[in-house]
Amino acid sequence: MTDIISFYTNPLSRGRIVHWMLEEVGAPYKVELLDFEKGEHKQPSYLQLNPMGKVPAIVHRGVVVTEGAAICCYLADAFPVSKLAPLPSEPARGTYFRWLFFAAGCIEPAGIDKTSPRANEVRPSALGYGSYDDVMNTIEKAVTPGPYLLGDRFSAADVYLGSQLVWGLMVKSIEARPVFSEYVQRLSKRPAYQRFMEQSKELEKALKSRAEKA
């Protein structure tokens, strides 16, 4: 069993969240690129790892972890030296989980519904995220005054929620608010974020050249 993390991704996917997280953690990892065009994520060898046929996924010490938010939590706990998660004994752990789960359970579906509205409207009381406006206002409260979700302390929750904002502001599933762009700008100055962005461009090129050669 190896300690090196296998990271299954596509550079234009939610794998970007985990790529950034891996750079924050600083643990050794190996990228396994999956070409969506070729359907590599739907091949039996990958479906064995993730029956959803989706990325990201990691394999670490023989265990498969899928779901971007779960992977961020897992890595923060598996590499405590990175100090990306409050310990179970710390009250801030509650706030940390709150925003991680809010980002996965509320921000993500609210953003998708914003850009691709459902044919049949769902009652806000039945919808886990309530209303788009409530989600936007709640994010604003969460990142104010900042600089991070846990105040002065950067955590894996910022990697996950911050990634949702970076992507959402770009595709306009998250409305532009000054406080959102200020938060995102702060995050994008992090050396780990910049390394991930550079590497991600290289992965895109690698995937393109692999496709051209095939």
Ligand X SMILES: N[C@@H](CCC(=O)N[C@@H](CS)C(=O)NCC(=O)O)C(=O)O
What is the smallest separation between the CB atom of 127 and ligand X, expressed in angstroms?
A: 18
Name the residue with tokens 């938010």.
Answer: 69
Q: Which is nearer to ligand X, 47 or 87 (CB)?
A: 47
Q: Does 19 bind ligand X (CB under 6 A)?
A: no
DSSP labels for 49-85? T-TT--S-EEEETTEEEESHHHHHHHHHHH-GGG--S
What is the smallest separation between the CB atom of 147 and ligand X, expressed in angstroms?
A: 25
The strand pairing partners of 7, in sequence order, are 31, 58
Structure tokens at 40: 């590599």
Pairwise CA distance, residues 91 & 10, whole Å: 36
- Listed in sequence order, the residues at least 6 apart from 192 whose beta carbon sits closer than 8 Å to its beta carbon are 20, 23, 24, 26
Q: Pick the closest to residue 30 from 51, 60, 54 (CA basis).
A: 60
Q: Does 13 bind ligand X (CB under 6 A)?
A: yes
Q: Does 41 bind ligand X (CB under 6 A)?
A: yes
List binders of ligand X among 143-182 (CB under 6 A). Answer: none
Q: Does 14 bind ligand X (CB under 6 A)?
A: yes
Pattern of binders to ligand X over 43-82, x per CB under 6 A?
----------xxxx----------xx--------------
Q: Where are the alpha helices (DSSP H) in the chain?
A: 15-25, 44-47, 68-78, 92-102, 108-115, 132-142, 156-171, 178-188, 191-213
Q: Which is nearer to ligand X, 83 or 208 (CB)?
A: 208
Q: Does 11 bind ligand X (CB under 6 A)?
A: no
What is the smallest separation between the CB atom of 39 and ligand X, expressed in angstroms?
A: 8
Nearest residue to ligand X, scored by beta-carbon proximity = 54
Structure tokens at 106: 């509320």
Q: What number of chain residues touch ligand X (CB under 6 A)?
A: 10
Q: Which is nearer to ligand X, 50 or 138 (CB)?
A: 50
Which parts of this chain interact with ligand X (CB under 6 A)? Answer: 13-14, 36, 41, 53-56, 67-68
